[in-house]
Amino acid sequence: MTATTSSRLNDVDIEAVGGLVQAIQADPAKAQTTWAAHVTWKGAFASESRVRGFEPTQSDEPAGLGGADSAANPVEQLLGALGNCLAVGYAANATVAGIELKDLKVDLKGDVDLHVFLGLGEGHAGFSGIEATVTINSPASREELESLHAKVLASSPVGHTLRTAVPVDITLA
């Protein structure tokens, strides 16, 4: 474990995170947030998603699935979203615990049976499972890293969303 006297550890602004925690403790309603994305079809299997004021994120399918292979496909983006969410969780929780992270990698993979997607069968069209391997380079003890790992798994919004039956309401306008 590495102690710090600055307001940054793991390049995380500790004061900003602490301010958010204090604001939510003072007014629990501030913890309820809404996130949004706007997706526009660009032709063939290409589309782009816009989030807040950022540059759009492109999406396409590999050539073997009929796309132009110009960008990651949606299932790859979902794996990336989980990995990114876990990385944020490790950085945030390590910082709160005073654990220095020298390097962090999350490798993810999952299997999808294309029968349902291609109209060749019925059943589950999504991942049959997702595996993630987290590699952390840190001076922290194995016990501290295992505690950090447990906290991240218990608090990952994307991880919880994928592990839990979340109502999804898709309407045609």
Q: Average pLDDT in the 19-45 region? A: 96
For residue 19, give the H/E element and its range.
helix 14-26
pLDDT confidence bin for 18, thresholds 50/70/90: confident
- Domain covering 8-34+74-163, topology: GMP Synthetase; Chain A, domain 3 (3.30.300)
pLDDT at residue 3 above 70?
A: no
How distant, in Å, are the alpha carbons of 10, 44, 90 from that of 3?
11, 53, 17
Would the pTM count as exceeding 0.85?
A: yes
**Summary mean pLDDT of the chain:** 94
- 148: number of Cβ within 10 Å: 22
Residue 72 and residue 108 in contact, taking contact as beta carbons nearer than 8 Å:
no
Between residues 28 and 4, the one the model is more confident about: 28
